[in-house]
Amino acid sequence: MASLLRLPSLLSPSKPLLRRRLLAARLAASAASRGQASASAGAAAAETRGGDREGQVTPRSADFNAWYTDVIAAAELADYGPVRGTMVIRPYGYAIWEAIQDYLNVKFKETGHSNMYFPQFIPYSFIEKEASHVEGFSPELALVTIGGGKELEEKLVVRPTSETIVNHMFTKWIQSYRDLPLMINQWANVTRWEMRTKPFIRTLEFLWQEGHTAHATLEEAEKEAMQMINVYTKFAYEHAAIPVIPGRKSRVETFAGANRTYTIEAMMGDKKALQAGTSHNLGQNFSRAFGTQFMDENGQIEHVWQTSWAISTRFVGGIIMTHGDDAGLMLPPRIAPIQVIIVPIWKKGDEKAAVLEAVDSVQKILKEAGIRVKVDDSELRTPGWKFNHYEMKGVPVRIEIGPRDVTNKSVVVSRRDVPGKQGKEFGVSMEPSILVNQIKGRLDDIQASLLQKAITFRDSNIVDISSYGELKEAISEGKWARGPWSASDADELKVKEETSATIRCYPFEQPEGTKKCFMTGNPAEEVAIFAKSY
């Protein structure tokens, strides 16, 4: 029942208002009977675990959560900040975020968006203007009440998301249909006062991009919202090797202030779902609240139609939990800060110069081919230590070069994703065109193989169900349940309370044929996917 306690917190970046509202009443009635104390103690233990024990990682199968926090510490991805719930993103973790940024930033510009920056302090009164929005966000706000030594007349909200301030400015900038569409994005930090935090997945402050657009018609806004969830889907599959399931959120799980929320749902290594990105069709909700109007081609004054969409540093957590294993992180080559690590090996002093010369030459060959390569020639650590270290860091390919390799003009190549001898190949030629070809081929293989492995894992853990009993069974086995659904919001909440599973989405990809709701027996238009989630 511990996951119920996590409910009021945010499934970033979407904030389902209706679920919160429905649950608030029930929780109030029954909170006392649930083991809150033990759940909190578990969280506290997780917080202190995984400090400086380099290389000592809890096996993934033994305790997935402990494994996760251990890997984050051992691979130097992040650390806890001094304020409860905050996170320091360390260089290696930040480099993964930069890889995500580099890809998406180009795609956003290609699809017609410009970057800009809005202030993070929002007058409290703004948050109150859109009724669902304030209800969804007010329990999680950080408020600035003192500035320059003085009590402020109006409290300032540290942005939890920027729809309100964006609309305030859009109202100034938009007059005519000529000003539309207005399509912008910002890379920024956001703050949500979460009670139960987990590095990358749910932190008091996190980094994200938030896109905001305004259009002349509902159709254009809908097209934009769909376009952006498709950008996210493509990124997840092709770069992060995460086979997300794109779909539409249920009404209960829709963002506070949106008409429709689209989502990409990823299955983590423990089979829990992670909402990895969202795109909202906001309709005219914010434009009505903020008076964002334009004159159309016929001289009529209309409210604009809007979207917003976001991916956050949470995605880094998704990468860790999708691909990692007992040896640590495993990074898809396309987003790996280091794609190839070269470890020189020598025993006698007179071997060193020749080995390092070969290492240098191999590094240059790979660098010129556009491969992200690093040499670790430190004499403070043994080759064995380095093998473990870069496995922990999830570097896709390792090259070893020793005296015998120098003589043979070849190198030893190991794959991170294939453990032991099977993934190790001796005698790969140092001849530039052969070497580059071999390494690029392996990187491509690893990229494809990680995706295929994740697809297989995902598909073998989704159960098609046709009754509530079957759903209960699937969920109790930790799996996802997929079945026809047309029942009420109250029924959806009942499932949540009884099984801890929520509707993750109505997937875009739907089976053909007529369907009957597994809960009510009524006709259903769609199947929904139910799962426990982060």
Whether the ω angle into residue 13 lies within 30 degrees of 0, i.e. cis, is yes
How far apart, in whole angstroms, are the C-alpha atoms of residue 160 and residue 308? 14
β-sheet bridge partners, residue 375: 342
Residue 91 in the binding site for its own copies (CB under 8 A): yes
CB neighbourhood size of 92 (10 A): 17
Residue 31 in the binding site for its own copies (CB under 8 A): no
Residue 411: phi and psi, rounded to 5, are -135, 165
User: Which helix H or strand E contains 531, and what residues bound it?
Assistant: strand 527-531
Q: Give the nearest distance from C-beta 173 to its own copies in angstroms.
A: 8
Residue 149 in the binding site for its own copies (CB under 8 A): yes
Q: 84 is written with which tokens? A: 């409860």
Q: Give the nearest distance from C-beta 126 to its own copies in angstroms.
A: 7
CA-closest candidate to residue 307, choices 280, 289, 285:
280
The alpha-carbon radius of gyration of the chain (Å, integer) is: 25
Residue 142 in the binding site for its own copies (CB under 8 A): yes
Q: 455 is written with which tokens? A: 């697809």
Nearer to its own copies, 27 or 142 (CB): 142
Looking at 112-120, 229-237, 277-285, 432-440, which segment touches its own copies (CB under 8 A)? 112-120
Residue 189 in the binding site for its own copies (CB under 8 A): yes
In the DSSP assignment, the letter for residue 11 is: B
Q: Which residues contact residue 121 at a Cβ distance below 8 angstroms, ignoring those fewer than 6 apart?
A: 144, 156, 157, 158, 159
Residue 115 in the binding site for its own copies (CB under 8 A): yes
Nearer to its own copies, 116 or 353 (CB): 116
Residue 44 in the binding site for its own copies (CB under 8 A): no
Looking at 12-20, 76-84, 295-303, 490-498, which segment touches its own copies (CB under 8 A)? 76-84
CB 497 within 8 A of CB 31: no
How far apart, in whole angstroms, are the C-alpha atoms of residue 340 and residue 399? 7
Q: Give the nearest distance from C-beta 183 to its own copies in angstroms.
A: 10
Residue 341 in the binding site for its own copies (CB under 8 A): no
Residue 299 in the binding site for its own copies (CB under 8 A): no
Q: Binding residue for its own copies (CB under 8 A) from 193, 385, 506, 508? A: 193
Nearer to its own copies, 148 or 513 (CB): 148
Q: Binding residue for its own copies (CB under 8 A) from 5, 99, 156, 366? A: 156
Residue 140 in the binding site for its own copies (CB under 8 A): yes
Total residues contacting its own copies by CB under 8 A comes to 57
Cβ neighbourhood burial of 36 (10 Å; 0-12, 13-18, 19+)? middle
Q: Binding residue for its own copies (CB under 8 A) from 39, 66, 158, 463? A: 158
Residue 95 in the binding site for its own copies (CB under 8 A): yes
Residue 382 in the binding site for its own copies (CB under 8 A): no
E-strand stretches of 182-222 = 182-191, 205-215
Nearer to its own copies, 164 or 410 (CB): 164
Residue 147 in the binding site for its own copies (CB under 8 A): yes
Residue 48 in the binding site for its own copies (CB under 8 A): no
* DSSP state letters, 301-351: EEE-EEEEEEEETHHHHHHHHHH-BTTB----GGG-S-SEEEEE--SSHHH
Q: 94 is written with which tokens? A: 């930040």
Q: Give the nearest distance from C-beta 61 to its own copies in angstroms.
A: 30
Q: Binding residue for its own copies (CB under 8 A) from 7, 74, 87, 266? A: 87
Q: 140 is written with which tokens? A: 């999680």
Residue that the structure tokens 């906001």 belong to: 282
Residue 260: phi and psi, rounded to 5, are -140, 140
Nearer to its own copies, 101 or 227 (CB): 101
How far apart, in whole angstroms, are the C-alpha atoms of residue 257 and residue 40? 31
Looking at 187-195, 414-422, 431-439, 512-520, which segment touches its own copies (CB under 8 A)? 187-195
Nearer to its own copies, 54 or 63 (CB): 54
Chain residues binding its own copies by CB under 8 A are: 79, 81-83, 86-91, 93-95, 97-98, 114-123, 126, 138-149, 155-156, 158, 165, 168-169, 172-173, 178, 184, 188-189, 191, 193, 195, 204-205, 207, 380
